[in-house]
Every structure is written in structure tokens, then in C-alpha cells.
Amino acid sequence: MLVKTSVLVVGGGLAGTSAALFMAWRGVDVTLVEKHPGSSPHPRAVGFNARVGELMRATGLADELPRSNVGKGFGIRRVKAESLVGRKYDETFWSPPAEISDVEYSPSKGVGVAQDRMEPLLRDKARQLGADIRMSTRMLEFSQDDEGVTAIVQGDGEPYEIRADYLVAADGHRSPIREALGITRTGRGFMHTSRSVLFRAPLDEYLKDGIGQFVIDGIGFLTTYGDGRWVLMLEDRDYTEAELVARIYQAIGRDDLPVEIITTGRWTISAGVADQFSAGRIFLAGDAAHTLPPSRGGFGANVGIEDAHNLAWKLAAVLGGESRPSLLDTYDAERRPVATLCHQQIFARNDGHNRDGEPEDAVLYDNNAMHFGMLYRSDAVLGAGPELPPAQLPELWNGQPGTRAPHAWIEPGKSTLDLFQRGWVLVADHPQWEEAAQRAGVTYERIEQLELFGLSEKGASLVRPDGYIAWRSVDLPDDPAGALTTAFRTSSAGTR
């Protein structure tokens, strides 16, 4: 049997499934293989930030995300405690408070959804949109040539071949694909091994004050998935079931509640960023590209989902013939510095117990800067120079090319962000720009919030299909159509 597809995704975790979802949403013929039959019964990620919420909103998935009772969505608070019911004494803030805190950055909210609930939602949506998702199917080997990639995969029956134009390696932190390609990693490396016990207990009353993470004296780290399930992270050794129950009761600080152990886990916590995010027709995404421990910021899955989003529109544009393959080089140029910055921030932030040493001395970036204020510098952006910081709050960027277009409500329920995602968009409020957009072949959107984009009333910003600003003209140039056409062709690696 030979299956042909445009993009083969290997790995059905959060990064791979998101890649399949975003590509299917853009009409790309995509096939995903995942060796397991479903999600792991022991979830890892639970906190998804509002930027990920925005990406889900664009695919129409936001309303399907379950509400959770974990703190205020992603803003999970962490304290030291004698026990869950006992004295709490030292709240840890890992991100400096926003300098200007009354800004509404996003139309979306972060959500607390356990990974084993999130993955099926993404998978179902991807399937609805036409992705071919093959669970219980393992990729055995792969090779690439000038025209494409060939993989041998195996499901229930005999091995068969999948031929694709491109391959997305979302095969997790051990990434056999990355290893086979000989791609090295830079970073902390191995940090520690943890044991975990996942259990169900009626403890919701202890979440009322919005604190969801507890560093329990002498026991370990206790947190919740917000759906009645809790996880206690313990030192790495073997525990009998009776010992686990005893530890759970110690952590809770009372032993008169029913506790049901669901499963246990053993986790190798490490950190590293791949030294290249692509090799020929193969792209690394998610933990395969960067392993970012969850201890300070919950970057791992969120950054992986954003990788998938960054790659999806580029692959769609190249496969659709609108952009030259050189556009794909901007994936590494844009996403690797983001992962490297996250890696740095993880070790610069205080995790409340300094398990892996004292925080490193580095500039601390606000969570809002990390979620909404990353800067991309690549050939798909015009005018993002080396003098600019790698991240800052959106209001300080003020519409800088290379950053995510700012959010403002255009009308109730409709954000500026809702104008983007499908294709290239020029935002402006001037008839000459409307004509220029027509001539350049980009969608024109008239908006009043030009100031937010750092534009005069005669200016315009060109926004990419991922909602990032590619270029802007603060004022009206002599030849708007010429300026726009050149900017569009250059930043999109356009073939037209």
C-alpha cells in the first residue's frame, strides 16, 4: 500500500495534533501517525495560555474548550504550604507584574484543561476538517530526497509506505527523527527525575482562593487538573500503594477524605533546544524541537502549539504555490529564538523551591510579553532590526513589524485578531491603500484603531496569515501600491 499526502506529521501529542488541525483548517492534505491508541491516561500539561486560546478561536474550537475551576485559567498561583489544608506562607511570582496592567491584551482567555481532554478535542476538530489521523500507527523509518519524504509506517497490519512533500517531526522530547537527522541540542540537559501519583479526591473547596499549585514542605509538589484530578510529584524512588496514599494524605493534611489513585508516572525533566528546527523537507515541532520543563511558566505545550501554527501557514503557502520554498527557512529563524528565550526565562524565574539551583541572573520578561509580545526577525518580516529586544509588552511594541498584531474590539465580540489568519491582510483607513491592496492581491480591512498599530491616519500595516505584522508604512508613501507590492512579495517570498 502507498499513501500519498502533502504533509506527514509524526506524533499525535499536542504539537503534532495542533499541526494537523492548523493545516487541515488551511486546506492542506495532511496525514498524522501516532503510535499510541489514544492520549496517555496520565496528563502532563494543563495550562494553555491566551495566545493558544487565540489560535483555537480562529479554528472555531474556543467554545468547545471546557471551563475549568483552576484558578483564573492559566494564571495559576503557587504557594509554599505545610499542607493543602495547613498554613500557606510564601507565594511565588515567576513573572514581574505588567508595567501597565489595565491593558486587555487578548479576546481569548487562558484555559486549564488536562492534556488528555485537550488532545481529543484537537484531534476531533482536525478530523472534521479533513486531516487523516491514524492512531496506533508507528513510523518505523524515513528518508528524504529532493522531491519529498518517504516513511514506512505500521498500524495493525503489514508495514506500508507514506509519501509526502514534507514531514513534521512532532515525536516528543526524545525525537527519534531529530536523532536520526543528527540534530544536536543546546541547553541545561538532564535536570532530575520525578515520580508522580495521579489521584481523584474531593478537594475543590481548597481551590476557592485561586491558588492551584502547592509546594508542600517535605513532601513534594501538589497541583490539580481542575476536574477533580490532582497530581502529587514526589522524589524519584519506588513507592508501595500504601506509601502513596500516606503521602497524599500528608500533602492534603487530612486523612478523612476518599482518595482514588488513578495511575503513577515517572518523568525525566530536562531542558534543551534543537540547534536547527529543520533539515531539508523535515521540520521539528514541539518537544522534538525544544524541551522546556514545566516548572516556571508552562511553556512546553504552548510553545509547541505555536510552532505548529507558525509552520502551518508557511507549508500551506508553499504547497499552494503562492510562496517560494525559501519561506520555510523562516520557521527556524522565527521559532528557535523563541524557544531559546523560553529556555532562558525558565531558569531566570523563581519556581518556589529552587530544585534545580538558584534562578539565573537574566532580564525577566513579563508573562504578557512572553505570550503576546515575542519578536520575530526573519525574511518574512521587514523592519525588525537587531537593536530590538526579543520580547516586550504589546503596548510598547505599538505595532512593530515582527510582532503579533494588537487586539482591540472592533465591535462587540469581534476583535482585530478576527480579521487575520485566513490570508494576508492590509489594515488601513485610506482609499489609496484600498486600491493598493487590490493591486497587490491582499485583503483590505478598514479599521479605526490605527494608533494601536503605530500608524498615522494615512498609514497601513500588512499582516501575515498567522496574525503577525510583516511590514508597515506609518504614513502614505508616494506610491502605495508599489511599496505594498514589494513588501508583500518580499515578506511572503511570493511567486506572483
Ligand X SMILES: Cc1cc2nc3c(=O)[nH]c(=O)nc-3n(C[C@H](O)[C@H](O)[C@H](O)COP(=O)(O)OP(=O)(O)OC[C@H]3O[C@@H](n4cnc5c(N)ncnc54)[C@H](O)[C@@H]3O)c2cc1C
**Residues making contact with ligand X (CB under 6 A):** 10-16, 33-36, 44-47, 138-139, 170-172, 176, 267, 286-287, 294, 298-302, 304
**Least distance to ligand X from the beta carbon of 330, Å?**
21
- Measured distance CA(443)–CA(446) in Å, rounded: 10
**Sign, Cα dihedral of 420, 426, 428, 434:** negative
Cell 495521579, residue?
198
How are beta strands 2-10 and 160-169 bridged, if at all?
parallel
* Between 9 and 317, CB nearer to ligand X: 9
Strand, coil or helix: 396: helix
- CA 434 – CA 221 distance, rounded (Å): 56
How many helices and strands in the chain, by DSSP H and E?
A: 11, 24
Residue 146: left if φ>0, alpha if ψ -120 to 50, beta else—which one? alpha
Shortest reach from residue 46's CB to ligand X, in Å = 5
* C-alpha pair distances (Å), 414 with each of 26, 57, 90, 98, 162: 21, 11, 40, 25, 41
- What residues pair up with 4 in beta bridges, in sequence order? 163
Query: Given the complex with ligand X, which of 10 and 469 has the nearer CB atom?
Result: 10
Q: Which is nearer to ligand X, 106 or 323 (CB)?
A: 106
Q: Which residue has the cell 501517525?
A: 33
Minimal distance, residue 466 CB to ligand X, in Å: 19
Comparison of 16 and 107: residue with beta carbon closer to ligand X: 16
Judged on CB neighbours under 10 Å (0-12, 13-18, 19+), 451 is middle
CB of 395 to ligand X, least distance (A): 25
CA 212, distance to chain mean position in Å, is: 22
**Least distance in Å: CB of 159 to ligand X?**
12
**What is d(CA 395, CA 418) in angstroms, rounded to the nearest whole number?**
19
To ligand X, the closest distance from the beta carbon of 241 in angstroms equals 21
Between 45 and 463, CB nearer to ligand X: 45
The span from the CA of 318 to the CA of 493, in Å, is 9
Minimum distance of ligand X from residue 111's CB (angstroms)? 11
- Specify the residue, 301 or 437, whose C-beta has the smaller distance to ligand X: 301
If the CB atoms of residues 142 and 488 are measured against ligand X, the closer one turns out to be 142
Q: From CA 89, how far away is CA 22, in angstroms rounded? A: 43
Residue 301 or 319 with smaller CB distance to ligand X: 301
* Cα dihedral across residues 342, 347, 350, 355: positive or negative: positive
CB of 413 to ligand X, least distance (A): 28
Shortest separation between residue 354's beta carbon and ligand X, angstroms: 18
Task: Centre a 10 Å sphere on the Cβ of residue 186 and count the other Cβ atoms it contains.
Answer: 12
DSSP string, 63-90: GGSPP--STBTTB-EEEEESSSSS-EEE
Report the residue number, 154 or 350, with the smaller CB distance to ligand X. Answer: 154
Dump strand ranges (E) for 399-454.
409-411, 414-415, 425-428, 443-446
Nearer CB in complex with ligand X: 304/394: 304
Q: Give 123-174 as a DSSP string.
A: HHHHHHTT-EEETT-EEEEEEE-SS-EEEEEESSSS-EEEEEEEEEE---TT
Closer by beta carbon to ligand X, 114 or else 419: 114
Q: How far is the CB of 308 from ligand X (least distance, A)?
A: 9
Cβ 433 to ligand X shortest distance, Å = 39
